[in-house]
Each structure stands twice: as structure tokens, then as C-alpha cells.
A and B are shown apart, each in its own frame.
Chain A
Amino acid sequence: MYEIVKAEKLTPDVIKLEIKAPHIARKAKAGQFIMVTPTEHGERVPLTMADFSPEKGTITIAALEVGKTTRELGRMKAGDQLFSLVGPLGLPTHLKSYGNVVSIGGGIGLALMYPIVRAFKQSGNRTINIIGARNEKLLMYEKEIEAISDEFFICTDDGSKGHHGFVSDILKKLIAENKKIDLVYAVGPIIMMKVIANITKPYNLPTIVSLNPIMVDGTGMCGSCRVIVGGETKFGCVDGPEFDGHKVDFDNLTARNKRYIPEEQNALKRFMEAK
């Protein structure tokens, strides 16, 4: 059992949990994830570590409440115990001094990009960060990311804050301005990552995306997480979750993530009715 030491809402439907797990916190690196099973009857779901502190012996996760399991996490409070927690899993973000790194986050991706941007910064990069959400209320980690940005842009779909439009608009603008860009990092909804990859491809701008295929074990033994990268089958959990955005078959990923929609809806309905 793993104790939740702090629970807070980042937005109405994003929960942030700080969990006591000193053994994981000691080893965690930016870009890695954990598999969490909230209760004994629960599902194992992958969540990126939004932060980790070897000193405090805790890791932090942020989850968008989309279905049964993430909503169940959303109802948990400090002092509650998680049934199972495995990590750190996946390959860490490949860090080096690239030069100018443009990091782009959308939706829940905002919470996930913070430790990665921080690591890029610590590795000696200039960080240009673009964050986006549907509206102002859904923006997260705005202050934190801004504090480690050399350049910083906010976008909202409805124009309630920053640029009225998509994160991709800003990227296009930077490219049009002939800004020197050495690496683009994108994390967020599949469609956003696909659009970004399509923009950077003609310019041959190295682009890394962080994928979210459906997982079961998260350790390489089932293949539920398989994604097609450069025509080859890769396992998201051990070969990823980060891949070369120009090689990812996003349409296959979108289709594969729809495998259990009827069951997911059934589970959610049952959960909402029970409480």
C-alpha cells in the first residue's frame, strides 16, 4: 500500500496526488511513468510522474479525470492508500544540450511537460514553451513553466487568455520567423501531437512526442501498448513512451485507443451511479 500525502485539484477535472514512494522517487527520471492500481479491484493505469522528490520520498502524478479509474483517483484524499504502484517505467527523456528546445503541451500535457522542461533547462538548453488549453480555467503549471522559460506562450481555444487559437499556430509562427529550433517536444492529446509532427516534418525539425497507448502491465510482457513507429511494432512501455514524432502512426494509435470504449462507458456509468 502506498499513502497519498497530498491531494489537490489543479482544475475542476484534473487531480494532483503526491504519493509516498521513496524507492521510486530515488530512481525516477523526467519522462518516466508509473502504473497505479487504486484498489484491489482496480485497473492498472499508466500516469506520467509530474514530479518526484528523492528528499521528501514522494512522487507526484496529475491525472485528467476521463473515466472510472481517473475519477476514482480524483476522489482520493490525503491519508488514503493506493493498492499498487509500480515504477519508474519507460525510458527517460533523452537529455542533452540540443540548443533551442521548443516544448509544447496541451491539456493534461501541461502537468507532464513541467519536469521535462525543467530537465531540458538543467541540461543547458534554451527553452521556448508553448502551453495551451480549451480556456483559461483549464491552464495548469502556468507559473512554474513560465519561471523556467526563455520564451513563453499561452494559447486558449476560446481566447480567454493569451493567443486565441492553437499551440500549433505559435509553432508555425516561430518557424515562419526563421527562429533557430533544434528540438520540438510535444505532449498532449494525440491529435495535437499529430498536428505538431505534421508541421515540423517538412522542415526536418527533430520532434519527440510522448504517446499514451492503452497498457496492462507496463513492463513489456503483453503488447497491449504496441505502436507503429517507422513501420515497426514498438512497445510503448519499454521502447517509449517517447518516440520520433515523424515516424509514429498516429491513426493506428487513435484506433487502438478506442478498443474498449463500450466497457469504459459501462464502468464509468456504474461508478457514477454508485456514488
Chain B
Amino acid sequence: MAEEEKKPKKIVPKKYPMPEQDPKERVHNFNEVPIGQDAQTAIAEAQRCLQCKRGPNRKVCMDGCPVEIDIPRFIKQVQLGEFAEAIRIIRENQNLPAVCGRVCPYENQCEGFCIVGKKNEPVGIGRLERFLADWERREQKHGKVEVPPPTGKKVAVVGGGPAGLTVAGDLAKLGHKVTVFEALQYCGGVLIYGIPEFRLPKEIVRAEVDYLRRMGVEIHNDYVIGKLETVDELLKSYDAVFVGTGAGLPDWTNLKGENLNGIMSANEFLTRVNLMKAFKFPEYDTPIRVGDRVVTIGGGNVAMDCARTSLRLGCKESVILYRRSDAELPARREEIHHAKDEGVRFELLAAPLEFIGDAQGNVQQVKAIRMQLGEPDASGRRRPVKIPGSEFLIDAQTVLIAIGQSPNPLVPMTTPDLKTTKEGTIAVDENGRTSKMGVFAGGDIASGAATVILAMGDGKRAAKAMHKFITGDRTWPAPEVFEKLSCEM
């Protein structure tokens, strides 16, 4: 039996609350919704931790963290008020703590495994991580980042999203020379162009990227691999290449009227608002406009971000149209609550059939149909089926399509011997090795659209394998492995 269960300790049953901006206020601004906890609260939260020991038959918080942060060890330091030491421990494994402390779906990750969470609310690990990263940034504890002497090995990272940045950080920590090639003007991937300012301030992403620069990582922005240089060309000047180009290709409904004005992909909408700062138009030049009613199609994190952003851009009503029921909404619960608190209306068990426009080609209405849940499908979720005769019209001057993203095709298209799967993802083994020797891949380009922390976990494993590869162990899986992967998936 575990020690903490032998000598029961009185546990505060709930997490200490996270102060938030009032919903009525926050729908009028783009400031961050959760305000952050103070040092006292963080210490009190850390006191809820039992400092569990991990065992072969005993899963604890760390088993849920894809980048294997030593959670009990850092929490111990928070209990002692040793914040500098605590963040140092986190940074051993985690290159973007301020980001993950905010957007990690920790309820399914570390906190989902927390022992305290069995009978009470789990320890607020994500919040502690956020607190420490913010504390570090505020206290200017970054300073110069120590890295070992150069090994003389050079690595190219394609794509500056969470996967690529993790690889960059981990290999720089080992003394390798890392160059990141990023297509956009800033690094961060979805963290910069997708996730809105009110969930993840862009200044934080920049600070994290800056930290990598201080470790000696070289970053080339505005650099599209596949157009400027191919992966094959990179292989001539680098010892290994990591591809982390993400799943940035928007999926469409392919319904009638989808090209009407006022209908755009979640990517276009969020890129205009976040990357190009259209919410500050005309101070920034890129325009964005929403009509009185915005209908967002989809039910994931991306859809929640679209619906909540629309409110902040001044629409009168923001509606989510989702074909299954509340229980199946794929977004994080926290995001769904935030959306509801802010007044987003959920039109559930409904799917679009057609988009109807006016003579000028502007969308006016969505024709939709009611759905009911039938038999479970391949994903185990009950399949939505149309209820005949239940068509209805909903007015919409803006429609946002947030039904998914597919892998970016450019790198696979321009790298002939890189095997891909049916879904268009790059086929990789468990170490991120691809069918092309010296080329590794991870994150959404290898897994399909997933999460920040899974992309980082991929990056971590790939970095380890890359280190082995460039320091002499050049074993590589047989081609059959990838033949199989590319058919199976």
C-alpha cells in the first residue's frame, strides 16, 4: 500500500480557483481570460500534492506527461517556495512551459493520472506550471542560457511549431547546432496563428522562442521548405533533418455555396485575427469583419476559438453548429465552459446542408438539418444520422468552417522517397524515423491534428533518436517497416 494512504493527510478537496476575467467584460477584449494565481495560492496548491512514488504497477502524474516532466520533484520545490529551482526542473524536459501551462489538455494528461484526483480534484499541475513560467518571465530569470560546447553537428528543423521547437531545444541542449526553417514571419505554428490571444498571449510564445534563440538556435523565418529548398537539399548541408510542418490544411464541407463571401475556414479567420492582428485593424492593416450572427461549424477547440473570437469582434450572436450532442463535443471541457459563460449558443445535433447567399454573393443563411445519434461508428462514438424532414434555416452573415485540418502536403510532395499514409501523414516509427535515412518527423504532420503536448512528446522522442543518429549510431529501420505503416494507417 502506498505510504500516503497509510498516514492519511487532510487534503483540500478542490483545486484552488483560477481567477478569471468576468465573462461580461472579457467578451469585449482580447486580454487573457484566466488571470493567473499568486505565489501563496501556488504554494497552497502544491501542498495538496502527496509526492507519490512511481512504480511498475502504479501510475502517477508523470505517466501522463508526454515530455516526462518530473512533476513530484518540481512540486516539492514549490511547496518550499523555491520557484527558481522548480522551473529549472521543468525546463529539463519542457521547452515551452508557459505555453503548456495554458493550453495543455492536462485533465487527460498528467492530472488524469494524479492520485489525489481519484477521490478529489487532482493537483492543479498545469496551473503550477503556468505560474512558474510566468514567475520566471516576470523575474527575468532567463539570463544567458548555458549550453555545452559545440559538437560540430548540424541539424535542420522544418517548421517552427511545438514539435519543431521541442526538437530544436533538446538538440541545442546537447550542443548541436540547430537551424529552424519556418514558413511564416514568426515561429510558434498554431500557437501563433491559431490559438487566440485571450487563451495564449503571443508575447508569451515570443518569449519562449526567444529563450531558444538564447540557447544558440538559429531561426530563419519566411522560409518555405519545398519551395526555397527541398529536404534533399537540406540533407546535403545538415547531419539530420526534422520535419514538423503540422496539419495546416483546412478541411471543407464541400457543400453547395461554400465559396460565398462571408464563409471562411477557421484557419483564415484565426490567421487574420491572431497572426496578422486584424482585431487591431486599422492599427494593423489586415482586415476582418463579422456580421451580426456568426455560425461556426464544428465542435472542437478550433470551433470554440472561432466562436469566442467572433464575440470579441462584435457579433451580436455566436452560434456553434455541431452534429452530435454535448457529451461528444471534442473540445476541452474548460473551453466549452468558457464559451458558454461568454454566451456562445450551442445548436447541437444539427448539420449544415447548404449555404444560401444573396445576389451579391454574400452568405445569408445556412440550411441545416436535425440529427440523432445512431449506432457507434469506428471511433466508438455514436454516429449522427439525419432526421428526415427536419431541415431548418438559420441566418448567418459569417460562417466559419472548423471541421478539421489535414497534413501540410508541401514537404511530402517535394520529397519523393518520403512515405506517407492514406491520410497524408508522414509515416514514422516510434522514434520519429521516416522512410528516408536522416529524416525524422513528428507532431501533427505525423499524427494528424492532435495536441501541443503530443507534438512535443513526438519532438522529444525524435530528438533522442536524432542525437543517437548524428553521434554515430546510423541504424535505420528496413523499408518494409514504412511500407507497412503507409498501408495500415
Asked if A220 and B408 sit within 8 Å, CB to CB, the answer is yes
Asked if A221 and B267 sit within 8 Å, CB to CB, the answer is yes
Asked if A84 and B185 sit within 8 Å, CB to CB, the answer is yes
A84 to B183, CA, bound (A): 11
A41 to B278, CA, bound (A): 10
Asked if A233 and B258 sit within 8 Å, CB to CB, the answer is yes
Asked if B222 and A221 sit within 8 Å, CB to CB, the answer is no
Which of the 9-residue segments A5-13, A162-170, A253-261 touches chain B?
A: A253-261
A86 to B410, CA, bound (A): 15
A129 to B262, CA, bound (A): 39
Asked if A222 and B221 sit within 8 Å, CB to CB, the answer is no
Shortest beta-carbon distance from B430 to chain A in Å: 28
Secondary structure dominating the interface of B: loop
Shortest beta-carbon distance from A144 to chain B in Å: 27
Shortest beta-carbon distance from A190 to chain B in Å: 14
Residues 217-245 of chain B, each 1 if its beta carbon lies under 8 Å from chain A, else 0: 00001111001110000000000000000
Q: From B227, B265, B284, give the contact of A223 (CB < 8 A).
A: B265
Residues of B within 8 A of A228 (CB): 259
Residues A224 and B227 in contact in the complex (CB < 8 Å), given A44-B286, A252-B259, A270-B282: no
Residues 199-224 of chain B, each 1 if its beta carbon lies under 8 Å from chain A, else 0: 00000000000000000000001111
Shortest beta-carbon distance from B156 to chain A in Å: 14
Asked if B222 and A84 sit within 8 Å, CB to CB, the answer is yes
A219 to B265, CA, bound (A): 14
A89 to B227, CA, bound (A): 7
A42 to B408, CA, bound (A): 26
Residues 67-92 of chain A, each 1 if its beta carbon lies under 8 Å from chain B, else 0: 01100000000000001111111000
Asked if A255 and B264 sit within 8 Å, CB to CB, the answer is no
Residues A267 and B184 in contact in the complex (CB < 8 Å), given A216-B272, A223-B250: no
Asked if A258 and B261 sit within 8 Å, CB to CB, the answer is yes
Asked if A68 and B228 sit within 8 Å, CB to CB, the answer is no
A37 within 8 A of B: yes
Residues of A within 8 A of B267 (CB): 221-223
Chain A interface size range: 35 or more
A221 to B286, CA, bound (A): 17
A94 within 8 A of B: no
Shortest beta-carbon distance from B169 to chain A in Å: 24
Residues of A within 8 A of B248 (CB): 220-221
A216 to B270, CA, bound (A): 11
Q: From B228, B261, B282, B287, give the contact of A256 (CB < 8 A).
A: B261
B285 within 8 A of A: yes
Residues A220-247 near B (CB distance < 8 A): 220-224, 226, 228, 233, 238
Asked if B289 and A220 sit within 8 Å, CB to CB, the answer is no
Residues of A within 8 A of B284 (CB): 41-42
B121 within 8 A of A: no
Residues of B within 8 A of A224 (CB): 264, 268
Nearest opposing residue in chain A for B226, CB measure: A219
Shortest beta-carbon distance from A229 to chain B in Å: 11
Residues of A within 8 A of B373 (CB): none
Asked if B252 and A223 sit within 8 Å, CB to CB, the answer is yes
Q: From A44, A223, A233, A258, give the contact of B276 (CB < 8 A).
A: A44
Asked if A84 and B221 sit within 8 Å, CB to CB, the answer is yes
A27 within 8 A of B: yes
A263 to B229, CA, bound (A): 37
Asked if B264 and A223 sit within 8 Å, CB to CB, the answer is yes
Residues of A within 8 A of B286 (CB): 43-44, 216
A248 to B267, CA, bound (A): 25
Shortest beta-carbon distance from B121 to chain A in Å: 38
Asked if B224 and A89 sit within 8 Å, CB to CB, the answer is yes
Residues of A within 8 A of B262 (CB): 259
B51 within 8 A of A: no
A24 to B252, CA, bound (A): 32
Residues A43 and B276 in contact in the complex (CB < 8 Å), given A219-B183, A263-B289: yes
- Of A44, A68, A87, A258, chain B has the most CB atoms within 10 Å of the CB of A44
Asked if B268 and A41 sit within 8 Å, CB to CB, the answer is no
A221 to B285, CA, bound (A): 20
Asked if B265 and A233 sit within 8 Å, CB to CB, the answer is no
A263 to B262, CA, bound (A): 14
Residues of A within 8 A of B77 (CB): none
Asked if B184 and A256 sit within 8 Å, CB to CB, the answer is no
Asked if B222 and A264 sit within 8 Å, CB to CB, the answer is no
Asked if A216 and B271 sit within 8 Å, CB to CB, the answer is yes
A217 within 8 A of B: yes
Asked if A256 and B259 sit within 8 Å, CB to CB, the answer is yes
A266 within 8 A of B: yes
Asked if B282 and A267 sit within 8 Å, CB to CB, the answer is yes
Asked if B250 and A87 sit within 8 Å, CB to CB, the answer is no
Residues A233 and B259 in contact in the complex (CB < 8 Å), given A88-B227, A217-B271, A222-B271: yes
Asked if A221 and B250 sit within 8 Å, CB to CB, the answer is yes
Shortest beta-carbon distance from B118 to chain A in Å: 42
Residues of B within 8 A of A137 (CB): none
Nearest opposing residue in chain A for B221, CB measure: A84
Residues of A within 8 A of B392 (CB): none
A140 to B282, CA, bound (A): 33
Q: From A43, A44, A85, A221, give the contact of B408 (CB < 8 A).
A: A221
A172 within 8 A of B: no
- Of B183, B227, B271, B410, chain A has the most CB atoms within 10 Å of the CB of B227
Shortest beta-carbon distance from A150 to chain B in Å: 33
Shortest beta-carbon distance from A91 to chain B in Å: 10
Nearest opposing residue in chain B for A264, CB measure: B287
A68 to B249, CA, bound (A): 29
Residues A68 and B285 in contact in the complex (CB < 8 Å), given A89-B224, A221-B248, A223-B267: yes
Nearest opposing residue in chain B for A267, CB measure: B282
Asked if A260 and B287 sit within 8 Å, CB to CB, the answer is yes
A23 within 8 A of B: yes
Residues of B within 8 A of A267 (CB): 281-282, 285, 287
B360 within 8 A of A: yes
Asked if A88 and B183 sit within 8 Å, CB to CB, the answer is no
Using a CB–CB cutoff of 8 Å, the interface residues on chain A facing chain B are 23-24, 27, 37, 41-44, 68-69, 83-89, 216-217, 219-224, 226, 228, 233, 238, 252, 255-256, 258-260, 262-264, 266-267, 270
User: 10 shortest A-B CB distances, which residue pairs?
Assistant: A263-B287, A255-B361, A222-B268, A43-B285, A221-B248, A84-B185, A223-B265, A260-B287, A86-B222, A43-B286
Question: What are 19 residue pairs bridging A and B, where the CB atoms are less than 8 Å apart in the complex?
Answer: A41-B285, A43-B276, A43-B286, A68-B285, A86-B183, A86-B185, A87-B227, A217-B183, A217-B184, A219-B183, A222-B271, A223-B267, A224-B264, A238-B410, A252-B259, A256-B261, A256-B361, A259-B262, A263-B289
Known: A87-B224, A223-B264, A223-B268. 18 other contacts (CB 8 A): A23-B228, A24-B228, A27-B228, A69-B285, A84-B221, A86-B183, A86-B224, A88-B228, A216-B272, A220-B409, A223-B250, A224-B264, A228-B259, A233-B254, A255-B261, A262-B289, A263-B281, A267-B287
